[in-house]
Amino acid sequence: MDVDAPLDFEAEDLLLNQLGSAKKRSKRVIGLDDLVDDFYAEKSKNATAEVKRANVRKRAISDDGDYHERDKEALLSKFVDECEKQVKEIVTEEEIPSWGLRVFGSQKALPASPPTPAIGNCNMLKCVIDNEIGPKFSSSDEETRKFSECLLLNNWLTNLVLTSGSIEDSMAMWTFHLLLYSPNENLQLAACDFWCSILLYGSEDNHLQLSWVPSYLELKDALEVYGYLWTFVTCNQKNDATDRAFDGPPRNIRLLLKVIAACCQSRIAHTIFSVAEVENLLGVVISFFLERRLEGISLVLQECLVSVLSFFTDDEWEVSSKRVAETISGSIQKDLNCIRVVECISGLDMRSKHFRRELAYHLLIKFLNKGDDAEELLRSVASINMKDKFCNFLHIYIYLVLADNWLLSNSLLEERPELHSIWGSFLRNCSCQITCTDWRSYASKVRNKASYLLQFYQCEQKQQLQTCTEL
């Protein structure tokens, strides 16, 4: 009999049964494995709950961030639209094209080449053939042409002419035609060297007899054959169809410029051009600087320009410089081309400086529609109101550059101090009345250019005062 077993009446008592059951449960032993399992189960539950809470926070932050990003983008887009609207309201001018004119148009058919000089009529060639070649030489036209070209290409023809002291007219015309129109570039270059040598040789030692020399009409005809436009066309770089209609400039433009320079330098020995013809050539050379397709030969253009300017005597230059400046100013519009045409005269010699001042002066007279009084011109420029809403800063910039080239190293400022005062007032207006927030076209360029010139002329005036004080 089990001593610990409940009695009969205890089995029937419900309260005692519940206590006994609890007592038995309390006596149940919990092992280490149970604790470990409970620990990991609880940890897993906590981790899962943390992941869920993190996902909820991320979704909340993402939704809130997307909202703020969209809000920022909307504000930025609105700000940009407002800025563009303000810029369009401020900048009312059309797009300003850059400098450039079409100086060369479509080319014409090349003229027929003259016949090769006949051996019988050319004593120089006949002498060489009789002494060096003899009966082996065939007098056919083809053999004569090849022989003459060989002499020209190997510089023997130049030596023969300089040694003999003369050249037949037929040989002179034939070589000059090769220079102008030959499709063979080597022949063109050889003919150019030939003519430059004999022309410059004659300018040093007047023993070379030339009964035929190149004329202005022949150069003019050559320019027209190659499409030179005496009335220039505004450059339209965006219109390719229009650009295809312009074939020029010619490939031998460098050679033409070298020959023009040699002809002008040989005035002492040979009378080739008249004063009026050289004035026309000066205008032609100046117009070449406005052709963008000739930017690669700027050095050759400058050398030719200096040679043409040196052609005139001092007395001729006083009249011719004004006449050429008036002609050029009458064909240039009030755009960036007028600045280009003045600044292309970059020589440091006295003729170049004088011509640059003269051209800038006549351009100012034309654009301002004033007389030739210096004080009236400057007062007209200085009276411009920079704060005017409809002020054209491109025109002011043009006036500023032209006036600077006119007054630079000009004795007028020393002889007439009132001009210096007016000029300084205009520069101060340009540099002070234009704010740095003015977005109109060329406003900043006018302000910066005027500020630089103001400092320059103030320093120059101080140096002059210091020099006068020391004296």
Per-residue CA distances from 19 to 15, 16, 25 (Å): 6, 5, 10
* Number of Cβ atoms within 10 Å of the Cβ of 54: 10
Do 273 and 216 meet the contact criterion of CB atoms below 8 Å apart? yes
Do 383 and 389 meet the contact criterion of CB atoms below 8 Å apart? no
Do 197 and 162 meet the contact criterion of CB atoms below 8 Å apart? yes
The pLDDT value given to residue 389: 78
Whole-number mean pLDDT of the chain? 79
Residue with tokens 């003259």: 114
Q: Mean pLDDT of residues grouped by 10 in the chain (471 residues)?
A: 56 54 50 68 73 68 56 75 67 65 88 72 67 58 79 88 84 91 93 92 66 91 91 58 62 94 86 92 94 91 94 92 93 90 89 93 91 87 84 90 88 81 87 78 86 78 59 52
The pLDDT value given to residue 33: 67
The pLDDT value given to residue 144: 75
Query: Burial of 241 by CB count in 10 Å (0-12 exposed, 13-18 middle, 19+ buried)?
Result: exposed
C-alpha angle 222/228/232, rounded to 5°?
160
Residue with tokens 């002498």: 127
DSSP 238: T
DSSP H helical segments within 226-335, as ranges? 240-243, 253-265, 275-288, 298-309, 314-331
Amino acid at site 467? T
List the one residue out of 301, 311, 217 whose CA is nearest residue 264. 311
Report how far residue 392's alpha carbon sits from residue 394's, in angstroms, rounded to the nearest whole number: 6
The pLDDT value given to residue 3: 55
Structure tokens given for 226 = 């190659």
DSSP 395: H
The pLDDT value given to residue 137: 55
pTM of the predicted model over 0.85: no
User: pLDDT of 70-123, one tens digit each?
Assistant: 676 777 777 777 777 766 655 444 556 788 888 898 888 888 877 777 655 676
C-alpha angle 429/435/436, rounded to 5°?
130
Task: Give me the numbers of helices (H) and strands (E) for the chain, helices first please.
Answer: 21, 4
User: pLDDT of 157-186, one tens digit each?
Assistant: 888 888 888 888 888 899 999 999 999 999
Rounded to 10 degrees, what is the CA torsion of 439, 445, 451, 454? -140
DSSP H helical segments within 91-140, as ranges? 123-128
The pLDDT value given to residue 300: 94
Structure tokens given for 252 = 């031998």
